[in-house]
Amino acid sequence: MALEQGGEERLSDQEVERYSRQLILDGVGEAGQRKLAEARVLVVGAGALGAPVIQYLAGAGVGRLEIWDGDRVELSNLARQPVHGDDDLGSSKAESATRAARRINGAVDVVAVSRRMQAEEVGAVVIPQTVVCDATDDFEIKFALNDACVAAGVPLVHAAILEYGGQLTSVVPGGPCLRCLFGAPPAPGEVPTCAQAGILGPVAAVVGGMQAVETLKLVLGVGEPLSGRLLVYDALRPRARTVDFPIDLSCAAPHPRRPANQQELQQI
C-alpha cells in the first residue's frame, strides 16, 4: 500500500489485481481491504480445519497470521491437510503451514509457534488479536480460548469436525459462548478423536472454509455473525442447519458484564 494525499493508504496496482474479485464486493472495497491488512488473526491448530482457514485468510490478505501447533506432519495427515505435502513430513505443522501461507501471499506477516498452547498463557496470546480461530481438537484449549476471548472481548470462531460432519459458531462480545452451549469440556475419552472415528477430508475443507468466511465477516463487519447459533453440517444427507442457543446466566465464562435480568438478556 502507498500513501494518498491526505495520509490515507491506497492499494498498489498489484494489490488491486490480486484482490480484484473481493474488492468489488459490497462491504469490502479498498476500505475493507485495509481492514484486512490491519487485522491480526490467531489460528490455533494447523491440521484439517486450520489448513483451509490459513489458506483462505492468507489469500484474502489478512495482515498478520499467528499459527500455533505442537504436532509434526505425518503421512496420515496429507489426505485432509493440504497445507502440508510429502516434503513436509517430519516438519513442525506450524512451520509447514507458515511456508504454505507465504507461498500464497508473501505480503502477509505469518508467525509460527511450534508448540502446544498452554491454558495459562492463552489470555496473553488472545489480547492483541482481532479474531481468534479455534481449529484445535484439544478440548482444554478450546474452552481456554473461549474464556480468554470472552474476558478480552475478542471474537472467537469455533469449529469442530468428525466423520462426515462438523459444527461452527462465533463467540462475540456480549453474546453466548461455548460454555453457554456445552457447559464444560467433555470428560477425557468421552468424544472420539478423528484418529479413532475418522474424518472425510473434504468435510474439513467445507467446515474450515466456513470458518474462514466467518472470520473475514467479523474483520470486515459485514453480514450476521453466527452468534447464539450453532451451524451443524451433515455431509451424508446432505444438509446444514442452525440451532439457536441463548446466554446462560449461570455460565462459568468470565463475561465482563452479565445481563441484569431476563428482559435485558432478550435484547442482546
* Residues involved in catalysis: 194
Sign of CA dihedral 85, 91, 97, 98: negative
How distant, in Å, are the alpha carbons of 87, 169, 236, 247 from that of 251?
A: 46, 17, 34, 8
Q: What is the Cβ-side half-sphere exposure of residue 83, based on CA atoms within 13 angstroms?
A: 35
How distant, in Å, are the alpha carbons of 102, 128, 163, 255 from that of 148?
A: 28, 12, 29, 10
Contact 161, 197 (CB under 8 A): no
Identify which of 53, 100, 55 has the alpha carbon closest to the alpha carbon of residue 73. 100
Q: From start to end of the chain, where are the E strands?
A: 2-3, 9-10, 40-44, 64-68, 109-113, 131-134, 156-162, 165-171, 229-234, 239-244
Q: Is 119 exposed, middle or buried (0-12, 13-18, 19+ CB in 10 A)?
A: middle
